[in-house]
Amino acid sequence: MSKHTVTIEINGSSITREVDSRLLLVHFLREELVMTGTHIGCDTSHCGACTVLIDGRSVKSCTLFTMQANGKSLTTIEGMETEGKLHPLQEGFHQEHGLQCGFCTPGMIMRAAELLDKNPNPTEEEIRWGISGNLCRCTGYVNIIKAVQYAAEKIQKEAT
Amino acid sequence: MNGPKTSVEVGGMGHNIKRKEDARFIRGQGKYTDDVVLPGMLHMDIVRSPYAYAKIKSINTDNAMAIPGVHAVITGEVLEGYNLHWMPTLMSDTQMVLPTDTVMYQSQEVAAVIADDRYIAADGVEAVEVEYEPMQAVVDPFKAMEADAPVLRTDKEGKTDNHIWHWETGDAEKTEEAFQAADVVVKEKVYLPRIHVASIETCGCVASFDPVEGKLTVWMTTQAPHAIRTVVALVAGHVGLSEEKIRIISPDIGGGFGGKVPVYPGYVIAIASSVVIGKPVKWVEDRSENLQADSFARDYHMDVELAASNSGKMEALRIKTVADHGYTDAAANPSKYPAGMFSICTGSYDIKNAFTEMDAYYTNKPPGGIAYRCSFRVTEAVHAIERIVDVLALKLGRDPADLRMQNFIQPEDFPYQSALGWEYDSGNYPRALKLAMEKIGYEELRREQKEKRERGELMGIGISSFTEIVGAGPSKDFDILGIKMFDSCELRIHPTGKAIARFGTKSQGQGHETTYAQILAEELGIPSSQIQIEEGDTDTAPYGLGTYASRSTPTAGAAAAKAAHKIREKARKIAAHLLEASEEDLEWEVGKFFVKGSPEQAKTIQEIAFAAYTNHPQGLEPGLEATHYYDPPNMTFPFGSYICVVDIDRKTGEIKIRRFVAIDDCGNIINPMIVEGQIHGGLTQGLAPAMYEELIYDEQGNILNGSFMDYLLPTSVETPNWETEQTITPSPHHPLGAKGVAESPTVGAPPAIANAVVDALSHLGVENIDIPITPFKVWQVFQEKGAAA
Amino acid sequence: MIPPPYEYLNPNQLSEAISLLQKHGEEAKILAGGHSLIPAMKLRFALPEYLIDISGIEGMDFLREEEGQLRIGAMSRESSLEESELISEKYPLLLDTAKMIADPQVRNMATVGGNLAHGDPANDHPAAMIALRARVVVEGPNGSREIGIDDFFTDFFTTALQNNEILTEIKIPAAPPNSGGSYQKIERKVGDYAAAAVACQLSFDAGGTIQQIGIGLTNVGPIPLRSNSAEDHLRGQIPDDSLIRESGRLAAEDCDPVDDLRGSAEYKRDLVNELTQRAIKISIERSERGS
Which of C173, C207, C238 delimits the end of a domain? C173
Tell me: do A73 and A99 sit in the same domain. no
Tell me: do A75 and A94 sit in the same domain. no
Would residue C131 count as lying in a domain?
Answer: yes
Tell me: do A30 and A92 sit in the same domain. no
Q: Which residues of A touch B508 (CB under 8 A)?
A: 101
Tell me: do C111 and C202 sit in the same domain. no
Tell me: do C156 and C72 sit in the same domain. yes
Q: Which residues of C touch B715 (CB under 8 A)?
A: 189-191
How many angstroms away from the CA of C54 is the closest CA of chain A? 10
Domain that holds residue C48: 7-53
pLDDT of amino acid B789: 59
For residue C259, give the CATH number of its domain: 3.30.390.50
pLDDT digits (tens, 9 = 90+) for B343-388: 999 999 999 999 999 999 999 999 999 999 999 999 999 999 999 9
Close Cβ partners of B79 (under 8 Å, ≥ 6 residues apart): B85, B97, B98, B269, B272
Tell me: do A112 and A58 sit in the same domain. no
Tell me: do A72 and A120 sit in the same domain. no
Whether B557 contacts B667, CB under 8 Å = no
Q: Would the CATH topology of B22-29+487-630 be identical to that of B33-135+203-284? A: no
B204 vs A: CB within 8 A:
no
> Residue ranges per domain, chain B?
22-29+487-630, 33-135+203-284, 296-472+634-784
CA distance B22 to B29: 10
| 8-state DSSP, B738 | B
Domain that holds residue A59: 3-79
For residue A146, give the CATH number of its domain: 1.10.150.120
- Selected residues 275-294 of chain B with any CB under 8 Å from a CB in chain A: 286-288
What b/e readout covers B129-163, taking b as 16+ CB neighbours within 10 angstroms? ebebeebebbbbbebbbeeebeebbeeeeeeeebe
For residue A74, give the nearest of A50, A94, A97, A96 by alpha carbon.
Answer: A50
How is domain B296-472+634-784 classified at the CATH fold level? Aldehyde Oxidoreductase; domain 4 (3.30.365)
pLDDT of amino acid C291: 44
Q: Which of the listed CATH numbers 3.30.365.10, 3.50.30.50, 3.30.1490.20, 3.30.565.10 matches domain B22-29+487-630?
A: 3.30.365.10
pLDDT digits (tens, 9 = 90+) for C32-65: 999 999 999 999 999 999 999 999 999 999 999 9
Tell me: do C35 and C85 sit in the same domain. no
Tell me: do A143 and A96 sit in the same domain. yes
How many angstroms away from the CA of C14 is the closest CA of chain B? 32
Question: Is B438 assigned a catalytic role?
Answer: no
Q: Give the relative orientation of helices B378-396 and B400-407 as an angle to the nearest 10 degrees.
A: 110
Question: Is B374 assigned a catalytic role?
Answer: yes
Burial class (CB in 10 A: 0-12, 13-18, 19+), B175: buried
Say if strands A51-54 and B86-88 run parallel, antiparallel, or are unpaired.
unpaired
Whether B306 contacts B317, CB under 8 Å = yes
Whether B594 contacts B601, CB under 8 Å = yes
pLDDT of amino acid A160: 82
φ, ψ (nearest 5 deg) of residue B294: -75, 165
CA distance C48 to C135: 28
- Across the interface, do A43 and C83 touch by the CB < 8 Å criterion? no
Q: What's the N-to-C CA distance of chain B in angstroms?
A: 53
Considering its fold, how many domains does chain A have in total? 2
CA distance B125 to B118: 10
Would residue C275 count as lying in a domain?
Answer: yes
Whether B184 contacts B683, CB under 8 Å = no
Residues of chain B with pLDDT under 50: 1
Which candidate from B22, B28, B202 shows the least CB-CB separation from A77? B28
CA distance B318 to B420: 11
For residue C48, give the CATH number of its domain: 3.30.43.10
**CA dihedral for C42, B718, A119, C181, sign (positive or negative):** positive
How many angstroms away from the CA of C141 is the closest CA of chain B? 36
Q: Which residues of A touch B18 (CB under 8 A)?
A: 94-95, 97
Residues of chain A with pLDDT under 70: 1
Would residue C2 count as lying in a domain?
Answer: no
Tell me the pTM. Answer: 0.98
Whether B723 contacts B729, CB under 8 Å = no
How many angstroms away from the CA of C147 is the closest CA of chain A? 30
pLDDT of amino acid A43: 86
For residue A57, give the CATH number of its domain: 3.10.20.30
pLDDT of amino acid C290: 45
For residue C153, give the CATH number of its domain: 3.30.465.10
- Tell me which CATH code domain B33-135+203-284 carries: 3.90.1170.50
pLDDT digits (tens, 9 = 90+) for B69-122: 999 999 999 999 999 999 999 999 999 999 999 999 999 999 999 999 999 999
Neighbours of B, requiring at least 3 CB pairs below 8 Å, are: A, C
Length of chain C: 291
Which candidate from A49, A78, A142 shows the least CB-CB separation from B200? A49
| 8-state DSSP, B707 | S
Say if strands A3-10 and A73-75 run parallel, antiparallel, or are unpaired.
parallel
Q: Which residues of B touch A88 (CB under 8 A)?
A: none
Tell me: do A70 and A120 sit in the same domain. no
φ, ψ (nearest 5 deg) of residue B129: -105, 120
Tell me: do A146 and A92 sit in the same domain. yes
- Across the interface, do B776 and C267 touch by the CB < 8 Å criterion? yes
Helix H or strand E encompassing C225:
strand C225-226
Which candidate from B288, B651, B696 shows the least CB-CB separation from C261? B696
Would residue C142 count as lying in a domain?
Answer: yes
Question: Is B223 assigned a catalytic role?
Answer: yes
A114 vs C: CB within 8 A:
yes
CA distance B761 to B458: 7
CA distance B260 to B251: 13
Question: Is B694 assigned a catalytic role?
Answer: no
Considering its fold, how many domains does chain C have in total? 3
Which of A79, A101, A117 delimits the end of a domain? A79
- Across the interface, do B32 and A94 touch by the CB < 8 Å criterion? no
Q: What's the N-to-C CA distance of chain A in angstroms?
A: 53
φ, ψ (nearest 5 deg) of residue B614: -120, -20
Task: Print the SS3 string covering B390-459.
Answer: HHHHHHHCCCHHHHHHHHECCHHHCCEECCCCCEECCCCHHHHHHHHHHHHCHHHHHHHHHHHHHCCCEE
